[in-house]
Structure 1
């Protein structure tokens, strides 16, 4: 699919990670679509570094409708899109200490009120889900529907679908500048100039930078570094351990294979867009927080990596036409939920750009709360 970009297109998508690729797949049957990617391969940054899971409550109540509506495609996609689903078995447990009863109760009340399958657990019920749990951790909210996502397979399926529908992809083609013309945009990239009727900004951590290069006011997309480790333990822990998320946001961890877990200190360090690398203090913090929850000795850190999760000022995804420049379309600020909401966001945004309106659960989601117009 990688080739030189055509000289003209209807919709130029800047970025070919999960946001850009899913939109291209949804839109290319109806419009001429070109993706430009700064790296030598798509998905190198946030998409390729995700410890992805479909966790309906993750990201908050405002994001939950997008996650819920995306489940069907992730679980049972159309045969023309993929011959298998992208979800793997997992459950989730939102965990709290004895002094966090109110926070866990509030979590259950909020999400059960939105139709999420969540059950309140206490004491022995919590301990039964996590072997070696320390006594102070007595409060839990269990979500049996949580799943892991095969991110690589999902991203590849979107890229294949976009290609089949006629979309083109140019790699090593960062956007250098863009200027408005009477017919649309004249876009200069590292590999040439493209005329486009509309630009979609799906550049992740670089979203505000892309806006500035196009003469569009940034909206405050802030990249935040997130650190993840894979550790080998000195005790047997089952691979099907739930995704365990602290109700206060201090950590999450999940089983990876027998005796191994992925864990994160849930860090959110503000930084400029870059090729993120883990900080050793965050690695140490992740291990310290894990061992404050469970009595598992850590035998070795086998892998460590970092990625940038990018947030709008209100921590909600942003998709739709810019307030001052309707030919400039935002698809950014997905934070940590870009993978699990991609089916809904791409279908809803594609409908704004010329594709048919989606039906079913996705069609029932109101896109207005996610529009850039909320920033005035």
Structure 2
């Protein structure tokens, strides 16, 4: 008998499985050929403690020590640079305030990122509290914890049937019996809930596209900050000597293996090009991922009110990696009847119960 059967092998499922593996036997089922295949494998991989609604910021703060220190730490400094045109002053100031950023001169911004267009750039602000996350190592360490505690992480295990007798019986090629079921299936969490006879929570998957460009102008971009356009109309992030550029779209789509929309990608690249002096001459690769949102835009963590043996770890949106240490600990605490370290207001704001009222 499995104590905790986790459906979904992305960051939500792996982190929850790792925390729960200290309390019982854990098995994680991933439908694809590899862990982190969908949204988790297509993340911008950034930690910014001030990014997100209040409940997410609380999770970010509670996750910071783990991400900085556990297993030698998973963070390296990146910083962010917000840039705006003259006609964007009000929106620029709102964005800078929301992220606790410090205003700098246009000349200073161009010193940091020399491809910025001095004719277009009117406003700039920086934050040094932003870090890259080593997402692959973080996931692999969660897998290592699960297996080290006697659990299993299985790929090519697509769930086709779920029923409840005295315990959960799940078919995914083989048949698995479990006392508790953790739904961490990303864009598919509502489909999993429906299979289990649990009322869905109204998750909306939203597509975000990405293009990989050669280093602009042959620059060494490894030390550049991440660039944001005002209103997050686009962003650009150095990655392994290349530049990742996204139109930052949030297009609702059905659960799927997402791919970039050519028109949306072109529009986003045009918004990026407007602020720089180096044109986009070649796109080396493009892809898309799905970010999953609950109706109120924050995570859904904990037992379902109708059946406490069905546990949600859902609605990560774009916050999955940066919140994973604290979110997974909250899931484990609630699943095992322990008192969470998070305050009651935050715990309530993340509870599935809020969506049942």
Counterparts of 1:76-225 in structure 2 under 5 Å? Answer: 76-77=69-70, 82=71, 84-112=72-100, 118-134=101-117, 135-181=119-165, 183-187=166-170, 189-225=171-207
Deviation of the 1:23 alpha carbon = 0.8
| Native 8 Å contact 2:63 2:323 kept in 1 | yes
SS at match of 2:232: coil
Deviations 1:162-195 (A, max 9, x none): 11112222322222222222x33222x2322222
Unpaired segments ≥5 residues, structure 1: 1-7, 113-117
Identify the range of structure 1 (152-161 vs 347-356) with the bigger mean alpha-carbon deviation.
Answer: 347-356
Deviation of the 1:199 alpha carbon = 1.0
State TM-score, norm by structure 1: 0.88
Deviation of the 1:295 alpha carbon = 1.1
State TM-score, norm by structure 2: 0.92
SS at match of 1:367: helix
Deviation of the 1:338 alpha carbon = 0.3
Distance, in Å, in 1 between the alignment partners of 2:179 and 2:216 is 58
Taking only aligned residues, the RMSD between alpha carbons, in angstroms, comes to 2.1
Distance, in Å, in 1 between the alignment partners of 2:154 and 2:115 is 50
Q: Of 324, 328, 343, which aligns to 2:310? A: 328
| Native 8 Å contact 2:203 2:292 kept in 1 | yes
Q: Which residue number in structure 2 is paired with residue 74 of structure 1?
A: 67
Distance 1:290 1:104, change over 3 A: closer
Distance, in Å, in 1 between the alignment partners of 2:278 and 2:237 is 13
| Native 8 Å contact 1:186 1:194 kept in 2 | yes
| Native 8 Å contact 1:224 1:309 kept in 2 | yes
Q: Of 28, 36, 41, which aligns to 1:43? A: 36
Identify the range of structure 1 (318-327 vs 15-24) with the bigger mean alpha-carbon deviation.
Answer: 318-327
Residues paired across the two proteins, number: 354
Identify the structure with the greater helix proportion: 2
Distance, in Å, in 1 between the alignment partners of 2:245 and 2:99 is 24
Distance 1:368 1:95, change over 3 A: farther
Q: Of 330, 349, 354, which aligns to 1:369? A: 349
Deviations 1:128-180 (A, max 9, x none): 43323233332233210111111111100110011111222232222222222
SS at match of 2:217: coil
| Native 8 Å contact 2:84 2:229 kept in 1 | yes
Q: Which residue number in structure 2 is paired with residue 256 of structure 1?
A: 239
Distance 1:372 1:10, change over 3 A: same
Unpaired segments ≥5 residues, structure 2: none
Q: Which residue number in structure 1 is paired with residue 212 of structure 2?
A: 230
| Native 8 Å contact 2:55 2:350 kept in 1 | no
Distance, in Å, in 2 between the alignment partners of 1:290 and 1:107 is 17
Deviation of the 1:47 alpha carbon = 1.0
Q: Which residue number in structure 1 is paired with residue 4 of structure 2?
A: 11
